[in-house]
Amino acid sequence: MIFLKTEDEIELMREANLLVGRTLAEIGKSIKPGVTTKQLDKIANEYIRDNGAIPTFLNFPNPYGSPFPASICTSVNEQVVHGIPNDDPLKDGDIVSVDCGTLLNGYNGDSCYTFCVGEVADDVKSLLSVTKEALYKGIQEAQTGKRIGDIGYAVQQHCESHGYGVVREFVGHGIGKEMHEEPAVPNYGRRGNGTMLKNGMCIAIEPMITMGDPKIYLLSDKWTVISRDRKPAAHFEHTIAIHHGKPDILSSFEEIENLNL
Ligand code: MG
Ligand code: MG
């Protein structure tokens, strides 16, 4: 069932999502060679709790294994999604996707940004730019009268036209009182196919894009997903509402991008 949100609920969703944006910016300030993803996780946990919210990902259940042990997912280089923060220092030239969720006043925020660590190779930087562009192309399709497939089509076309791979096994999602609600929002699709988009729908659009083949592999920790060919992967995510017929981006990269990393 798809829960359409009222105006008041959309504003509550915006508060939860802006907190995610501020948390990602707080993390971004500390991303440099030598820092560990566990240190980033500690920053996130403290910042989210200091702002009266709950880090949604901490203890998130896994039907195949242990609950998620951290407040953010940190996916480095060939890791696509759901990387677990650890004590390995980030190295110059790495990329790290930081996915963050908050529960504030009963509503969820969810957003992800792929950061560069030090000086990153030009071909990897291009992967990040194209993935972020694809996110906004997908968002542009989130209008009343269009369908879920229009979003996926826009994301897929943009990424595949650059020779990148679109991961199929993980998709965006409806979001609200629950972190994952209906409908599923794939990063691939056909124009005019799928669920009709309506005012009040809140969805997380989140392209997970690989530099090479889109095939993935789940590590034995039952969380970390890597690209099978071990090429780098990028992940950018916004939560949006369909509001007055148009996409209203509830999360924000503004504070991250003001850091001029
Ligand atoms: Mg996310
Ligand atoms: Mg999500």
Token pair 């968002």 in the structure block, residue? 139
Distance 173 CA to ligand 2 centre (A): 6
Looking at domain 7-257, its CATH superfamily turns out to be: Creatinase/methionine aminopeptidase superfamily (3.90.230.10)
Which ligand has the minimum distance to the alpha carbon of residue 112? 1
Can you give the pLDDT at residue 260? 79
**pLDDT score of 27 more than 80:** yes
Q: What are the sequence ranges of the domains in the chain?
A: 7-257
Q: Are the C-beta atoms of 160 and 188 separated by less than 8 Å?
A: no
Q: What is the pLDDT of residues 44-82, one digit of tens each?
A: 999 999 999 999 999 999 999 999 999 999 999 999 999
Q: How many CB atoms lie within 10 A of CB 85?
A: 23
Distance 231 CA to ligand 2 centre (A): 22
How many residues are present in the chain?
A: 261
Ligand nearest to the backbone CA of 205: 2
Q: What is the pTM of this model?
A: 0.98
The Å distance, Cα 252 to ligand 2 centre, comes to: 14
Ligand nearest to the CA of 24: 1
Q: Where are the alpha helices (DSSP H) in 77-203?
A: 122-140, 148-161
Rounded to an integer, what distance in angstroms lies between the CA atom of residue 27 and that of residue 51? Answer: 15
**pLDDT tens-digit profile of 94-152?**
999 999 999 999 999 999 999 999 999 999 999 999 999 999 999 999 999 999 999 99
For tokens 């480095």, name the residue.
76
Of residues 1, 80, 82, 89, the one with CA closest to residue 38: 89
- Dihedral over alpha carbons 13, 19, 21, 24 (to 10 degrees): -140
Average pLDDT, the chain: 98
Which residues are in the CB-under-5-Å shell of ion ligand 2?
110, 204
Question: What's the mean pLDDT in 205-226?
Answer: 98
Ligand 1 mean position, distance from CA 11 (Å): 19
**Band of pLDDT at residue 261, cut at 50, 70 and 90:** confident
* pLDDT (0 to 100) of residue 7: 98
- Whether residue 245 is predicted with pLDDT greater than 80 in this model: the reply is yes
Distance CA 14, CA 145 (A): 23
Q: Does residue 199 register a pLDDT over 80?
A: yes
Compute φ and ψ for 89, nearest 5 degrees. -70, 140
- Residues in CB range of 189: below 8 A, 6 or more apart: 148, 149, 150, 151, 152, 153, 156
CB 138 within 8 A of CB 155: yes
Beta bridge pairs of residue 54: 103
